[in-house]
Copies of this chain bind each other. A is one copy, B any other.
Amino acid sequence: EIAVQAADLFETGLLAGLNVVITAGPTREAIDPVRYISNHSSGKMGYAIAAAARDAGARVTLISGPVVIPAPERVHCLRVESARDMLDSALAQLGQCDIFIAAAAVADYRPMTAANQKIKKSADSMELTLVKNPDVVATVAAHEQRPFTVGFAAETQDVDIYARDKLVRKNLDMIVANDVSMSDIGFNSDQNAVTVFWAENQQSFAQMSKQALARELVELIAHQYQQTQEQQSS
């Protein structure tokens, strides 16, 4: 009931009438029917953002890789496995998407070929050829029906440099960066601390629950989105 009250308090209508698409969780890239490559990601951050965006009045579509947490209520949840599945789902949303928030930990590479049968173990070593996956958030940001696009950067070193580089290189409106080398935040933790970069600005959020952080991020994203809209119409 406290959660319900908190949700009521947050019902600012900041995102009222807007369609927000959020990706969350890891992707899995099949090596064969049994084995796969994946990333550490619980999906908690993306799911918390989906709930916060819903509470801010948005119609929310959550495109989720394989995770074990339940979908938030009143959020349209699409389940996907691979990066290519996630991209297909994301592109299908464009045209009816105002804000795209890419919180998923998409696998950068996938095995060049996925075997139909379980590969039998024999050699002492084997070479696995990996090919680059499509970049989901960069593809969305480069699309002619480009929404306001927010990326995430999980880094283990030089977080600011890599995040600013991604912001520019992928043509994002904003990027949320966290240092996953710190064991008490990120990944499977219930806490997170991030720095958000956009244009010439940045804002840091000290460690807090992913729920609380999600609300801060949604508020910041909503304000930047509105500024962009005002600039475009003036």
The answer on a CB contact under 8 Å between A129 and B125 is yes
Within 8 A of B (CB), among A66-100: 68
A9 at the interface (CB under 8 A from B): no
Within 8 A of B (CB), among A121-161: 121, 123-132, 154-157
What number of copies of this chain does the assembly contain? 2
A33 CA / B181 CA spacing, docked (Å): 8
A50 CA / B123 CA spacing, docked (Å): 33
Q: Which residues of B contact A154 (CB under 8 A)?
A: 34, 118
CB distance from A119 to the nearest CB of B (A): 8
Q: Which residues of B contact A127 (CB under 8 A)?
A: 127-130
A16 at the interface (CB under 8 A from B): no
Given known pairs A38-B38, A107-B35, the reply for A126 and B130 (CB within 8 Å) is yes
A37 at the interface (CB under 8 A from B): yes
CB distance from A115 to the nearest CB of B (A): 9
The answer on a CB contact under 8 Å between B117 and A124 is no
A158 CA / B37 CA spacing, docked (Å): 25
A: contact size bracket: 20 to 34
A40 at the interface (CB under 8 A from B): yes
The answer on a CB contact under 8 Å between B107 and A156 is no
The answer on a CB contact under 8 Å between A118 and B156 is yes
Q: Which residues of B contact A156 (CB under 8 A)?
A: 33-34, 117-118
Within 8 A of B (CB), among A27-45: 31, 33-40
A112 at the interface (CB under 8 A from B): yes
CB distance from A162 to the nearest CB of B (A): 8
Q: Which of A34, A117, A154, A180 has most chain B Cβ within 10 Å?
A: A34
Q: Which residues of B contact A11 (CB under 8 A)?
A: none
The answer on a CB contact under 8 Å between B180 and A34 is yes
A39 CA / B36 CA spacing, docked (Å): 6
Q: Which residues of B contact A124 (CB under 8 A)?
A: 131-132
The 5 A-B pairs at the shortest CB distance, nearest first, are namely A108-B121, A128-B128, A68-B68, A118-B156, A125-B131
